[in-house]
Amino acid sequence: MAFPSPFSDRRSAPRLAANTRGVLVAPGLEMVCLIMDLSAGGLRVRLDRSLSLPRAVQLVDVVAGTVCEAEVAWSKGLEAGLKCHARVHALSGLVPARFTSARDAWLRAGGR
């Protein structure tokens, strides 16, 4: 009987490489990150420095011009796993008030 490796990926959906620029936004926090990969349930980001993240964040995809509300599922060193909630919102044009900080961060990061 074969047992799965303890290092095998336990997720049900495959990861897709992203390697795109992002910004994590929360009250009192705006941090540039690299969105490393995506899966159906969430994504993995790499931060510039090791930092204790709040449980709830907004993740801005600078290239796509979108934001998703997310929960930090885990963090280890410079990497963190996020679980996205609901849908992704576009940051161009008018945005709901709860995404104002995310839109401002997107514009500062070079979004247009």
Whether the pLDDT of residue 8 is over 50: the answer is no
pTM of the entire predicted model:
0.85
CATH number of the domain to which 52 belongs: 2.40.10
Q: What percent helix, strand, coil does the chain show, rounded to 5?
A: 10, 50, 40
5 domain residue, yes or no: no
pLDDT tens per residue, range 18-29: 899 999 999 999
pLDDT tens per residue, range 64-109: 999 999 999 999 999 999 999 878 899 998 999 999 999 999 999 9
Q: Give the whole-angstrom CA distance, residue 111 versus residue 55.
A: 25
62 domain residue, yes or no: yes
30 domain residue, yes or no: yes
Tally of structural domains, the chain: 1
Domain with 99, as residue range(s), is 17-108
95 domain residue, yes or no: yes
* Residues 88 and 67 sit within 8 Å (Cβ to Cβ): yes
1 domain residue, yes or no: no
The pLDDT score that the predictor gives to residue 86 is 76
